[in-house]
């Protein structure tokens, strides 16, 4: 927001509250709004730092919420974390976002769509933002579930050679959504009393918040289950790779043994000894070749029975 708009409660009136949206603000802008609305210095310092885990903190007359938005990139396995900082008090909602590697979620349409649906007040705007973030968590978790099913089906397919990269990329993606969900889930459950105080006078929104907490807990459980399932996929893949490597080593050893027979016999008869047995036989060469063939055939049959070839 341009600095010229700072005075006089810059923002947008919606459904009985003032929404102030700060995108890529400098510290002076945040501090000026903090003085204007009486925001706690500790919460302001967290918003200025821009590096906070998902949480909900209660101060004397307002709440400070940190949400991690998940922005999906071009690839199926790409997810970027974009933090959003929210100050909410009676009649005022202040959001702070920063543009990073991925664009921050556009909160305008989210709040516009929620107007009048879950009750008036800043708490309704807070619910709308949190609901939109949780819906993204659920959508990303559903896509992870699909990718996990594909990996489980392909883990023993010897024709595919890119599973390592896909498994570890999916592990990274699950880790990001876990960090986004778990912190918010714990914060919501621990901040029930503070949120209840904020919802006073807006009883209509009570079931919406309960549904939000239940959906978040369910998504958190799904992602945790996916993490454990991926551990099983990774273990199966590593075992499969180990089995194939052992099989390859047996085949290499078997072929090396078959090739060593003619190599050894040829080497023996290449020595220039005066009294080498069989050197002066009329059919010595034919006998040696026949011996090589017989020994290799016997070795081949033995290796085949042991599934080395």
Kindly state the DSSP code that residue 8 receives in the 8-state scheme: T
**Are residue 115 and residue 41 in the same domain, yes or no?**
yes
Residue 87 has pLDDT above 90, yes or no: yes
Q: Residues 153, 107: one domain?
A: yes
Q: What is the distance between the alpha carbons of residues 185 and 89, in angstroms, rounded to a whole number?
A: 21
> Are 104 and 25 in a shared domain?
yes
Residue 293's domain comprises: 250-305
- Spatial separation of the C-alpha atoms in residues 70 and 139, rounded to whole Å: 10
pLDDT-derived band at 161, boundaries 50, 70, 90: low
Residue ending a domain, choose from 197, 220, 242:
242
Residues 255 and 237 both lie in one domain: no
Q: In whole angstroms, give the CA distance from residue 212 to residue 104.
A: 22
Select the highest-mean-pLDDT range: 2-11, 215-224, 264-273, 287-296: 215-224
| 119 and 267 housed in the same domain | no
Residue 126 is part of a domain; what is its CATH number?
A: 3.30.460.20
Radius of gyration (Cα) for the chain, nearest Å? 34
Lowest mean pLDDT among 22-31, 54-63, 93-102: 93-102
Buried b (16+ CB within 10 A) or exposed e, 247-268: eeeeeeebeebbeebbeeeeee
Task: Assess whether 225 and 292 both reside in one domain.
Answer: no
Are 105 and 47 found together in one domain?
yes
Which residues share a beta bridge with 23? Answer: 97
Grade residue 11 by pLDDT with cuts at 50, 70 and 90.
Answer: low
CATH code of the domain in which 263 resides: 1.20.58
pLDDT tens-digit series, residues 227-248: 888 888 877 777 777 777 787 7
pLDDT, mean of residues 171-180: 84
190 and 292 share a domain?
no
Average pLDDT over residues 118-146: 84
Q: Mean pLDDT in the chain?
A: 78
């Amino acid at each position: 927001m341009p600095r010229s708009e700072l005075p006089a409660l810059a923002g947008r009136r919606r459904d009985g509250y003032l929404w102030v949206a700060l995108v890529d603000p400098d510290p002076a802008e945040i501090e000026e709004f903090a003085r204007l609305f009486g925001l706690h210095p500790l919460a302001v310092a967290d918003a200025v730092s821009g590096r906070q885990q998902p949480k909900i903190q209660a101060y004397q007359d307002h709440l400070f919420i940190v949400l991690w938005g998940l922005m999906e990139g071009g690839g199926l396995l790409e997810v970027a974390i974009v933090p959003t900082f929210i100050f909410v008090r009676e009649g005022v909602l202040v959001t702070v976002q920063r543009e990073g590697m991925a664009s921050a979620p556009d909160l305008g349409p989210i709040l516009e769509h929620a107007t009048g649906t879950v009750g008036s007040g800043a708490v309704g705007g807070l619910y709308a933002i949190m609901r939109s973030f949780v819906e993204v968590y659920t959508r990303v978790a559903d896509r992870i579930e699909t990718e996990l099913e594909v990996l489980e089906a392909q883990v023993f397919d010897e024709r595919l050679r890119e599973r390592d990269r896909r498994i570890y990329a999916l592990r990274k993606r699950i880790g990001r959504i876990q960090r986004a969900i778990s912190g918010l889930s714990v914060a919501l459950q621990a901040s029930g009393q503070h949120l209840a105080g904020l919802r006073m006078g807006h009883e209509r929104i009570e079931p919406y918040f309960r549904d939000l907490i239940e959906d978040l807990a369910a998504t958190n459980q799904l992602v945790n289950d996916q993490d454990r399932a991926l551990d099983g996929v990774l273990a199966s893949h590593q075992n499969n790779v180990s089995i194939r490597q052992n099989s390859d080593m047996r085949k290499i050893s078997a072929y090396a043994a078959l090739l060593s027979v003619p190599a050894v016999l040829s080497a023996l008869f290449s020595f220039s000894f005066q009294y080498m047995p069989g050197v002066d036989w009329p059919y010595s060469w034919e006998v040696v070749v026949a011996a090589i063939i017989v020994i290799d055939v016997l070795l081949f049959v033995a290796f085949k029975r042991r599934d080395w070839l």
